[in-house]
Chains A and B, each alone.
Chain A
Amino acid sequence: MTITEVPERTVLGTRMLRKEDPALLTGEAKYTADLPIPGALHLAVVRSPYAHATIDSVDVSGALAMPGVVAAYSGADLVDLWAAPMPCAWPVTPDMKNPAHYPVAVSRAVYAGDGVAVVLATSATAAVDAAERVQVEYTPHEAVTDLEDALTDRVVIHPELGTNQSYTWPLLIEETPGAVDAAFAAAAYTVKERFVQQRLIPAAMEPRAVAAVPQPFGGDMTLYSATQIPHILKIMTALTLGIPEHQMRVVAPAVGGGFGSKLNVYAEELLCVALARKHKLPVRWTEERSEGSMSTIHGRGQIQHIELAADEQGKLTAMRVRLIGDMGGYLQLVAPGVPLLGAFLYAGVYELPKAYDFSCTSVFTNMVPTDAYRGAGRPEATYAIERSMDSLAAQMGIDPLELRRRNFIATDKYPYEAFTGLVYDSGDHDAAATKAAGMLDYEGLRAKQAAQNVPGARKRLGIGVSTYFEMCGLAPSRVLASLNYSAGGWEAATVRVLPTSKVQVVTGTAPHGQGHETAWSMIVAEKLGVDPADVDVLHSDTAIAPYGLDTYGSRSLPVGGVAIAQACDVVIDKARQIAAHQLEAAPEDLEYVEATFRVKGTPGKEMPLAAVAFEAFTAHNLPDGLEPNLEGHTHYDPPNFSWPFGTHMCAVEIDVETGQVEVLQYVAVDDCGVQVNPLIVDGQVHGGVVQGLAQALFEEAVYDTDGNLQTSTLAEYLVPSAADVPSITTGHTVTPSPTNQLGVKGVGEAGTIGAAPCIINGVVDALSGLGVHDVPMPASPLNVWNAIQAATSNQESNP
């Protein structure tokens, strides 16, 4: 399917208010912890206070003596409940080392927060009170909290593996052998940088919550969970616990944000199901925030070494990338693959010859396991190239925007086969950059900066620029196979026109704030010509939507939304046959306009969709061989990723005496292809930008050298408030994706990807006149002040 221009549309592209909102605004929406589940037992998990320790003994007798306690178990007590270890679905190399990981540790705790015992009681407070009475004897060991230290194997975390290295995944792309080395030898300019992607805590506002409800007879089990992935969770629960898959039902009720943190199979989900089976009673658990910081995945956690080679004009000629990835104590669901998602994006929106040498080595550490967090590998890659492009521009003494323009992939080269062999669908980088520069008044600000940043100025102005390409719409199943991912990347959809002509949509996507009910209704309304209010979207319940691969990786619209559009096509095709039969016309002589089939050139000879739907239901007079009812069901496997792109720019002002960074202006120009609902697109960009800005300026999961998490509460982990962030000026260009019939690309992660390098480029730009070359994230007042002091004392000692 190829589209070259956007057809005229009446619903798509409008700022329709969200269907989801009334229930959320009035407190009617039910999150997992809100569900009334009579008779449920409450689970509490006893967690290791040590980052690295041998578990010598666990004595639950003190807990059992507490009021309301029904049971208490050590890890050893529960081993018979597990049919398999907890799943890691992305064995990126055949020899990847993956330690057996069970919901409750038996002999060793490998991070502070690792579960070592559990308590079941008749109330949550009784369970928590009793958990404090479980006596665990530990022998603590030295903790590994530094990635480069982990590489040395000075302390091996999983002795059975013999090393802390889980895998090394190389990607060497050379036109001819030795192309990378040759390009570096011949380069007019080279850049060599080391960046640290600090650990982040995703901190969705809704803590995780789980409730497992067994049927009294027959073995059926319903798992309610605050999850992004009800379908994947159903399969994994079945496999891990040995439950027949058809007896597992997973429901994700209202879910309060995820950002990747609910894209996992967690110990507490398996514990609730296993213990509900064992006790034949419902079992539920709701995470406390500080508990969640030590039991829900963290994000990022990479050390990046990047080298660029460029010619006289600053055009890139080769690149080397070496990563160390922080897996934490165990491999979670897709953690090993996160750096791979970035591996293909280190050249950003720039042309790079086949001269690319990438390798990632991921290590175990005594910290909370990491996994996909908004952007997953792609923000890290974008940060490294965009920071490095600024270094190259500084070295060449040219404007960073000018350097980028010299390297942009030209619009007329699309679809563009990149050095990796992946084909970028469409792009117009000059247009996005020009629009952003205009919105920011880039030239005017440069003049202002020159006047303001004089020697001795207390407040220095910085201008940040970043561009990005995002690889999303995860994903073509065959490409996932080539990356050793254990599942496909398709999505399922059913569209049924009910006898009264109302429309039901069943989707395999699992929204948690994205507004799928609104957006999918709009797609159906556009395709079928019906009122969006007459469309109901059903999702996030495997009994209703048996097939699906859920919501992550900006995939829901470019995969799930397109599946819905295709299901609408199936409906229209079938309806056309019925209408043609009724109207005694050939199907090809009918046109479908405004939800009505009309015989071309014969005014008045027509049949509305509503009448067709009723005919399909009664089945009194259908064409021979046609089945009753009007329903389309499709599975869509995208032929390519989708490639949103954009340019972000900001103006920051830094008080050089305090190190305080103030973001004066933030401009985001994002091109996500055709926009289904610009209201939702803007919201995704706003939130994404602030999440990236938060990494740049505020957030860091801080561990001490003993492996204690110092930032486990929201009093210590600085999720920014409204007072900490600026308004965001959004602009858009629209370059349709030629890959799918809607021309859509996805927008969930774009803001986050663009923002962190944009802000830090602005910070470094403000301080470059003082000799500052880099500021580590987060650019807190302390980190900024230290960078200034180091640069100025360096200049004084080397005048």
Chain B
Amino acid sequence: MRGAHVEISVTVNGVTHTHDVEPRTLLVQYIREAVGLTGTNIGCDTSSCGACSLHLNGEAVKSCTVLAAQADGQDVVTIEGLADADGTLHPMQQAFMENHGLQCGYCTPGMVMAATSLLKENPHPTEHDVRIGLEGNLCRCTGYHNIVQAVLAAANA
């Protein structure tokens, strides 16, 4: 349905944006290209890697599996919205830094968004819970060891 556009309003990190989008536009494309927030990364085209994870109404989703039009009227938080306005890192971001849970950083925004959502569901996970909980987010640098340590540390923070 190229050519036909729909108007959507999406609240992103507390600010409401209104745009005309093509029906086929993915939420991740919308966030990156229309809203202009590029912290949400694209790592694959099969919803396998989780690099594009963000919060939709408080829950982590892979934003390549959601159409922008489906987010109409919804609340989105991206990695840019996680730290405090004064720059203080979110405890999960801080835990990733302190535990060296990132190297190249490309999977990191999605990993952090997925991890914060995981702790919301399960505030006191075991190592096994963390590994299963982050199964949908791929990292090629860290071998996951320090990511798992970071999430466990954040849970105990």
Which A residue's beta carbon lies closest to that of B149? A727
Which listed residue (A513, A689, A713) contacts B105, Cβ 8 A?
Answer: A513
Chain B, 44-80, CB within 8 A of any chain A CB: 44-46, 48-49, 51, 78-80
- Interface presence of A129 (CB below 8 A): yes
Max count, chain B CB within 10 A of own CB: residue among A36, A680, A725: A725
- Interface presence of B112 (CB below 8 A): yes
- Interface presence of B142 (CB below 8 A): yes
Per-position contact with A for B74-95: 1 when CB-CB < 8 Å, else 0? 0000111011000001000100
Given the interface contacts A27-B109, A689-B143, A727-B145, does A22 sit within 8 Å of B89 by beta carbon? yes
B104 touches A30 (CB 8 A): no
Number of interface residues of B (CB under 8 A): 56
- Interface presence of A205 (CB below 8 A): yes
B153 partner residues in chain A, CB cutoff 8 A? none
Q: Complex formed: what's the CA distance from A436 to B103 in Å?
A: 26
- Interface presence of B116 (CB below 8 A): no
- Interface presence of A152 (CB below 8 A): no
- Interface presence of A140 (CB below 8 A): no
B104 touches A257 (CB 8 A): yes
Which A residue's beta carbon lies closest to that of B130? A722
- Interface presence of B141 (CB below 8 A): yes
A721 touches B108 (CB 8 A): no
B2 partner residues in chain A, CB cutoff 8 A? 129
B147 partner residues in chain A, CB cutoff 8 A? 722
A31 partner residues in chain B, CB cutoff 8 A? 38, 41, 106
A727 partner residues in chain B, CB cutoff 8 A? 127, 145, 148
B43 touches A205 (CB 8 A): yes
Q: Complex formed: what's the CA distance from A481 to B20 in Å?
A: 59
A26 touches B140 (CB 8 A): no
Count class of interface residues, chain A: 35 or more
- Interface presence of A351 (CB below 8 A): no
A204 partner residues in chain B, CB cutoff 8 A? 104, 106, 140
B155 to chain A, nearest CB (A): 15
Given the interface contacts A28-B39, A514-B103, does A725 sit within 8 Å of B140 by beta carbon? no
B15 partner residues in chain A, CB cutoff 8 A? none
- Interface presence of A254 (CB below 8 A): yes
- Interface presence of A17 (CB below 8 A): yes
Which listed residue (B38, B102, B107, B136) contacts A27, Cβ 8 A?
Answer: B38
A34 partner residues in chain B, CB cutoff 8 A? 32, 38
B43 touches A206 (CB 8 A): yes
Q: Complex formed: what's the CA distance from A727 to B128 in Å?
A: 10
- Interface presence of B138 (CB below 8 A): yes
B132 touches A513 (CB 8 A): no
Q: Complex formed: what's the CA distance from A206 to B146 in Å?
A: 20
A721 partner residues in chain B, CB cutoff 8 A? 131, 134-138, 144
Given the interface contacts A24-B108, A683-B103, does A722 sit within 8 Å of B148 by beta carbon? yes
Q: Complex formed: what's the CA distance from A25 to B125 in Å?
A: 22
Q: What is the interface of chain B mostly: helix, strand, loop, or mixed?
A: loop
A25 touches B135 (CB 8 A): no
B89 touches A257 (CB 8 A): no
B78 touches A27 (CB 8 A): yes
A324 to chain B, nearest CB (A): 28
Which listed residue (B45, B100, B140, B143) contacts A205, Cβ 8 A?
Answer: B140
Per-position contact with A for B19-51: 1 when CB-CB < 8 Å, else 0? 000100000000010001111111111101101
Q: Complex formed: what's the CA distance from A33 to B51 in Å?
A: 14
Which A residue's beta carbon lies closest to that of B128? A723
B82 partner residues in chain A, CB cutoff 8 A? 26
- Interface presence of A687 (CB below 8 A): yes
A24 partner residues in chain B, CB cutoff 8 A? 102, 104-105, 108
Which listed residue (B32, B98, B100) contacts A682, Cβ 8 A?
Answer: B100
Q: Complex formed: what's the CA distance from A206 to B44 in Å?
A: 9
Given the interface contacts A686-B145, A727-B127, A728-B145, does A25 sit within 8 Å of B48 by beta carbon? no
B43 touches A289 (CB 8 A): yes
A736 to chain B, nearest CB (A): 24
- Interface presence of A203 (CB below 8 A): yes
Per-position contact with B for A165-205: 1 when CB-CB < 8 Å, else 0? 00000000000000000000000000000000000000111
Given the interface contacts A688-B143, A689-B143, does A714 sit within 8 Å of B105 by beta carbon? no
B43 partner residues in chain A, CB cutoff 8 A? 205-207, 289, 714
A719 touches B105 (CB 8 A): no
A40 to chain B, nearest CB (A): 12
B127 partner residues in chain A, CB cutoff 8 A? 727
Which A residue's beta carbon lies closest to that of B142? A687
- Interface presence of B139 (CB below 8 A): yes
Q: Complex formed: what's the CA distance from A727 to B126 in Å?
A: 13
B104 touches A27 (CB 8 A): no
B113 to chain A, nearest CB (A): 10
B49 touches A257 (CB 8 A): no
Q: Complex formed: what's the CA distance from A289 to B51 in Å?
A: 12
Per-position contact with B for A363-394: 1 when CB-CB < 8 Å, else 0? 00000000000000000000000000000000
Which B residue's beta carbon lies closest to that of A514? B103
- Interface presence of A227 (CB below 8 A): no
B89 touches A26 (CB 8 A): yes
B97 touches A18 (CB 8 A): yes
A515 partner residues in chain B, CB cutoff 8 A? 103
A714 touches B48 (CB 8 A): yes
A235 to chain B, nearest CB (A): 25
Which listed residue (B39, B100, B107, B130) contacts A26, Cβ 8 A?
Answer: B39
B19 to chain A, nearest CB (A): 15
B157 to chain A, nearest CB (A): 15
A722 touches B46 (CB 8 A): no
B45 touches A289 (CB 8 A): yes
Max count, chain B CB within 10 A of own CB: residue among A27, A259, A512: A27
Q: Complex formed: what's the CA distance from A125 to B89 in Å?
A: 35
What are 27 inter-chain pairs, A to B, with CB distance below 8 A? A17-B97, A18-B97, A21-B96, A21-B97, A22-B97, A26-B80, A27-B109, A28-B80, A30-B38, A31-B38, A31-B106, A205-B138, A206-B43, A256-B106, A257-B141, A513-B141, A514-B103, A679-B100, A682-B100, A682-B146, A687-B142, A691-B143, A714-B49, A715-B46, A723-B131, A723-B134, A751-B143
Q: A17-B100, A205-B104, A254-B104 are in contact. List 5 more A-B contacts (CB 8 A).
A: A25-B102, A30-B38, A683-B103, A687-B103, A713-B44
Q: Which residues of A contact B (CB under 8 A)?
A: 17-18, 20-31, 33-34, 36, 125, 129, 203-207, 254-257, 259, 288-290, 512-515, 679-680, 682-683, 686-691, 713-715, 719, 721-723, 725, 727-728, 751
